Structure 1
Amino acid sequence: MWQVVGGLVLGLALGYSLQRGGFCMNSAFRSLVFDKDRSLIRAWIVVLVINVIGVNLLTEIGFLSPLVAPLFWPALLVGGFLFGIGMVLAGGCASGTYYRCGRGMLGSTGALIGFAVGTAALDGGGAWIAQRYLRAPTITIEGAEPTLFNLFGLSTPVGRWMLIGALVIAALWYLARAPEQRFVLGWGWRKTGLAVGVLALGAWVISSLTGRHFGLSFTQPTVSVTRFLISGDSSGVSIATWMLLGVPAGAFIAAKIRGEARWSLPEAKTLARQTSAGLAMGAGASIAGGCNIGHSITGIATLSVGSIVGTIAIMLGCWAMTARIYGGNARGTASANGKMQSAVSTVG
């Protein structure tokens, strides 16, 4: 019972924080190339700083034995790129889709249904052969999954923490140079990054108490929920499932308090596009073994080379589809952002 309660409470807090901070990694990744406001990228970097330090410290003292994403590079490149394309057309990443459902955005609900179908179809479903084929070529380092540690031959704690220190210093230097946000709707990037980062690290802690040595994940828990709803199979249900289910509820609470919870139904063609885009997201996440959460937060916390490659592929897919929608002329302009919002019919 404590797993259900603990997972739901953490998920509620995460959904609340995602909604209040408007934390969507589709918007964050897009801003690197197409927008002057990098607030969400800074929030993501804060999340990574907290989790890279926290996860590796907990590993060093023996509390965690984290699972590291494999470097099955064809699957990461193809799946990540497909996921990136899908999240642009869906109007949000996996976590963004879940929390926007909580605030009443029915277009995101359509994307979520597509995401669930896509993940289930590729992960043990009828289209599993594509996943298996693309995951076959896998790179290891002396039989281990590649991380930045074994890639650079850092086998001692001193060497590992020197690398972590260098990465953290570089991140803090970038954050220290950030301009002040002139217009903030909801939480600023510092508060958002701190809240999401602490909760993501908390997910590692409470998951490890159940023998699950992994942090936040949206792809596998979505598969477990889908299988349970379709066939009653509860074998995949874990504490991560309860975390996931808490996210839209937490987002609803945050939106209700702020008067932002309302039903929003897009035009039929937009709803169809978001639903099919969710299908692409789900397929891509299953092929790549993770989404913007499993790879771009949880996986990078372990300094997994596979998760870094997967994240880069997600970014490339995001940028390619954004450029396709923008027509290549709208970098860093307010009109371009308006065009994107119109294209995906989403808010926030």
Structure 2
Amino acid sequence: MLITGLLCGALLGFVMQRGRFCLTGGFRDMYIAKDNRMFYALLIAIAVQSIGVYALLQVGLLQFKAGAFPIVATIVGSFVFGIGIILAGGCATGTWYRAGEGLLGSWIALFGYMVMAAIMKSGPLKPLNDGLRDAGTASNSIAGTLGISVWILIALLALVTIWVAVRELRKPKVKIPALRPKRSGLSHVLFEKRWHPFVTAVLVGLIAILAWPLSEATGRMSGLGITTPSANIIQYLVTGDQSIINWGVFLVLGIFLGSFIAAKASREFRFRAPDARTAVTSLCGGLLMGFGASLAGGCSIGNGLVMTAMMTWQGWISLVFMILGTWTASYFVFVRPNVKKAAQKAAAQPTTA
């Protein structure tokens, strides 16, 4: 049954690579380019997953417990994670699928992410991780806290998502000269045609629904998750403990495989080596990602996609501080340097009497 993790991950990696489903770029563009399309796409994926998973819960096919809400760890970890994904050039899932494209900078970021996650979950920083995660509230369920049905929250999310998506689709489209297709039929659609972010989001949401029953069939009572499985790979390579090789490990390996297949078939795969500065930045970003995601109890997928769909405080508060972290890093990495360059250029201009 573990092989279903590999297949589910391969499907996710394929879809994310072809649809360029990058939450790092989406969060960054909200601040720099005032472009919210990828954020709206995330809302679509969350809404699709939420409706599907809670329908399965309603008929008794799944089990889910929201658990406690580690508020301090969630806020601090998510903010640090947001900074890290800007430096790394991709979130946890994005780093896995971009590594599958041959981007060596993502390999470096992925290494830092996996190592730091392992250090946080089972290494020297485990006491710090556990201690901060112990500080929280008893209830993680938003519906439970408010004393309402979860379907009210899901309906509200669906209505808001439909409204923003329709408004976005009605905007005038920028006409881009279309290149003459080199393929036809299904091959053109899968490997050449540009996928709309909203279509990609629906597919991601459906895969996220599929992950729940497949994962629970192996005894892993959860859906999509990236951080713990990534840490488990490092732990296995060091200790040889086969008990930590579960459905989630096969999932993340599948993401890499699916992305590689998509990149090769679409002729987008090639090895690209970063310069020394980018390599160091990628490593630092990966380390921050591992630290932040472990502390927050999830990354942009575990918290930003899955725990939000399950209508938990951890998911939605994590998403807010993740975005704030990306905006903070974007200011120092992208905005401030450009402002300084503009000021220096203006100062260098000769003045006329």
Residue 167 (structure 1) shift: 1.9
Please tell me the residue identity of whatever aligns with 1:256: K
Over 3 Å counting, the alpha-carbon distance change for 1:128 and 1:13 in structure 2 is: same
**Paired residue for 1:116, among 109, 114, 117?**
114
Residue 24 of structure 2 corresponds to residue 3 of structure 1: no
Residue 248 of structure 2 corresponds to residue 240 of structure 1: yes
Q: After TM superposition, what 4+ stretches of structure 1 lie above 4 angstroms from structure 2?
A: 328-331
Residue 145 of structure 2 corresponds to residue 151 of structure 1: yes
SS in 2 for 1:235: helix
User: Which whole-Å CA distance do the structure 2 matches of 1:279 and 1:271 have between them?
Assistant: 12
Moved more, 215-224 or 25-34: 25-34
Please tell me the residue identity of whatever aligns with 2:142: L
SS in 2 for 1:327: helix
TM-score when normalising by structure 2 = 0.87
Residue pair 1:105, 1:262 contacting (<8 A) in 2 also: yes
Residue 134 of structure 2 corresponds to residue 126 of structure 1: no
Residue 190 (structure 1) shift: 2.1
Please tell me the residue identity of whatever aligns with 1:32: M
Residue pair 1:18, 1:192 contacting (<8 A) in 2 also: yes
**Paired residue for 1:75, among 63, 70, 73?**
73
**What's the counterpart of residue 345 of structure 1?**
none
Residue 69 (structure 1) shift: 5.6
Percent identity reads 34
User: Which whole-Å CA distance do the structure 2 matches of 1:148 and 1:138 have between them?
Assistant: 14
Over 3 Å counting, the alpha-carbon distance change for 1:116 and 1:268 in structure 2 is: same
1:242-276 CA distance string (max 9 Å, x none): 11101111111111111110000010121111012
User: Which whole-Å CA distance do the structure 2 matches of 1:41 and 1:69 have between them?
Assistant: 27
User: Which whole-Å CA distance do the structure 2 matches of 1:180 and 1:299 have between them?
Assistant: 34
**What's the counterpart of residue 157 of structure 2?**
167
Residue pair 2:71, 2:136 contacting (<8 A) in 1 also: yes
**Paired residue for 1:196, among 192, 204, 216?**
204
TM-score when normalising by structure 1 = 0.88
**Paired residue for 1:285, among 284, 288, 293?**
293
Please tell me the residue identity of whatever aligns with 1:280: L
User: Which whole-Å CA distance do the structure 2 matches of 1:36 and 1:222 have between them?
Assistant: 33
Over 3 Å counting, the alpha-carbon distance change for 1:226 and 1:255 in structure 2 is: same
Residue 104 of structure 2 corresponds to residue 106 of structure 1: yes
Residue 233 (structure 1) shift: 1.3
**What's the counterpart of residue 339 of structure 1?**
none
User: Which whole-Å CA distance do the structure 2 matches of 1:321 and 1:199 have between them?
Assistant: 30
Residue pair 1:69, 1:304 contacting (<8 A) in 2 also: no
Please tell me the residue identity of whatever aligns with 1:168: A
**What's the counterpart of residue 54 of structure 1?**
52
When the two structures are aligned, how many residues end up with a matched partner?
323
User: Which whole-Å CA distance do the structure 1 matches of 2:68 and 2:39 have between them?
Assistant: 25
**Structure 1 vs Structure 2 CA RMSD:** 2.0
User: Which whole-Å CA distance do the structure 1 matches of 2:240 and 2:172 have between them?
Assistant: 50
User: Which whole-Å CA distance do the structure 2 matches of 1:49 and 1:164 have between them?
Assistant: 7
Over 3 Å counting, the alpha-carbon distance change for 1:167 and 1:117 in structure 2 is: same
Residue pair 1:34, 1:330 contacting (<8 A) in 2 also: no
Gapped regions of structure 2 (runs ≥ 5): 179-192, 343-353
User: Which whole-Å CA distance do the structure 1 matches of 2:101 and 2:277 have between them?
Assistant: 21
Please tell me the residue identity of whatever aligns with 2:201: G
Residue pair 2:101, 2:263 contacting (<8 A) in 1 also: yes
User: Which whole-Å CA distance do the structure 1 matches of 2:173 and 2:44 have between them?
Assistant: 16
1:185-219 CA distance string (max 9 Å, x none): 73111221111111111111211222322110000
